[in-house]
Amino acid sequence: MIAHLGLNHKTAPVHVRERFAFNAFDSIETLTALLRNGLAEEGILISTCNRVELYIAGDQVSRDSMRPLLQFLARSRSIEYTDDLEQCFYFNTDAETLHHLFRVVSGLDSMALGETEILGQVKNAYDLALKNRFSGRRLNKAFQEAFRTAKYIRSQTDIQRGHISVANVAVELAGKIFDDLDHCHVLVIGAGDTSEKTAKAILSRGAKQLSIANRTLERSQALAERLGGSAVEFENWTARIPDADIIISSTSAPGYVITFPMIREYMRSREHHPLLLIDIAVPRDIDPDIDRLESVYLYNIDDLETIAGESRRQREQQVQHCQELIARRVSEFFDAMQKDREYRNKMRLSSSENPSC
């Protein structure tokens, strides 16, 4: 039997999830103890910011394995076990486990529907288990089929079509406006979470020059260090405008930080080179009249959310199709496993009847 025990962003708040987080070293220690204590014959442990899931296989695994597994997992994290803890976890076996795993690697169980990062994280967890011989025939077949299913779903559905986060929508727009992001200078005004994610996403697509201004210089410096940029004193950020190709603004100012005259004057020296302005502040930081200027592209938070929302709706329409594909693949997997068991039993019986063979 195979089974899995887990918690995720839908069943447990972050202060619970973070207590059950595992790094690679912790995973090796925990899986070693799991097998040594006879709780399973095989194990794979997945730990991300949004989920912790333990997949196991073995003849001793049953539908009654949840509590001893949860008690073991709690001990491994030095967490006191309580009955309330069970409310944060889910436990499934056999077909339900396969169905859940296939959904996870296909991005159907993610906070961002259809995202692909989870597939790489699961592959890393599987590789760690495989390298240390924690996984065996049953889990190897299950995870390999899960990866094939994820690839199949990506090729046969639109579940990953479009971008569904503000940061990735901004990157998509930047890619349409600029032929090459490698030479783009990004100016970030305000060091909030969304502006950080947006800047990080643009840098991941090739932009190499980054300036960050925030009312608190220490925060600018901390963000600049994380992202590999340079901090600018807030009083001097306007001096960086002539160098900027992409400006991301997210302050708490009561009025417009970037005005029409400011950008009109700046654009006179740009020789029609485009400028992308991303206003993710509420109230808005950038005068909307700026969008009338030639070669200037202005998007506010509502614009970005509208684009992301359309992509989310398109992905949600694909969920039923993906579910049907997964159900079929799970059924085919267990049919193949049943035939394999029958063949192995037949070979063992034949061997016992003909010991000289």
DSSP 231-287: EEEGGGGGGGGGG-SEEEE----SS-SB-HHHHHHHHTTTTT--EEEEE--SS-SB-
Residue 318 CB partners (closer than 8 Å, separation 6+): 114, 157, 158, 159, 161
Q: Which CATH superfamily is domain 2-160 in?
A: Glutamyl-tRNA reductase, N-terminal domain (3.30.460.30)
Active site residue 49: yes
| Residue range 166-301, CATH number | 3.40.50.720
Nearest-angstrom CA–CA distance, 179 and 39: 56
Q: Catalytic one among 49, 88, 322, 357?
A: 49
Residue whose tokens read 């399973």 = 40
Mapped onto helix, strand or coil, the DSSP state of residue 223 is: helix
Q: How many CB atoms lie within 10 A of CB 317?
A: 13
Domain ranges of the chain: 2-160, 166-301
- Residue written as token pair 């200078």: 185
Fold: same for 2-160 and 166-301:
no
pLDDT given for residue 35 in this prediction: 96
pLDDT for 293 equals 95
Residue 177 identity: I
List CB contacts of 85: < 8 A, sequence separation 6 or more: 70, 74, 79
User: Is pTM, for the whole model, over 0.75?
Assistant: no
Residue 70 has a pLDDT of 95
pLDDT of residue 161: 64
Tell me the C-alpha distance between 163 and 169, whole Å: 6
Question: Which residues on neighbouring strands pair with residue 286, listed in sequence order?
Answer: 258
Q: State the pLDDT at residue 138.
A: 94
Output the CA torsion sign for 327, 329, 332, 334.
Answer: negative
Per-residue pLDDT of the chain (357 residues; tens, 9 = 90+): 899 999 998 899 888 888 898 999 999 999 999 999 999 999 999 998 789 999 999 999 999 999 999 999 999 999 999 888 999 999 999 999 999 999 999 988 887 777 777 899 999 999 999 999 999 999 999 999 999 999 998 888 876 665 557 777 888 888 889 988 898 999 999 877 878 888 888 888 888 899 999 999 998 999 999 999 999 999 999 998 888 999 999 888 888 999 999 999 999 888 778 999 999 887 899 999 999 999 999 999 888 878 877 777 777 788 888 889 999 999 999 888 777 777 667 666 666 666 654
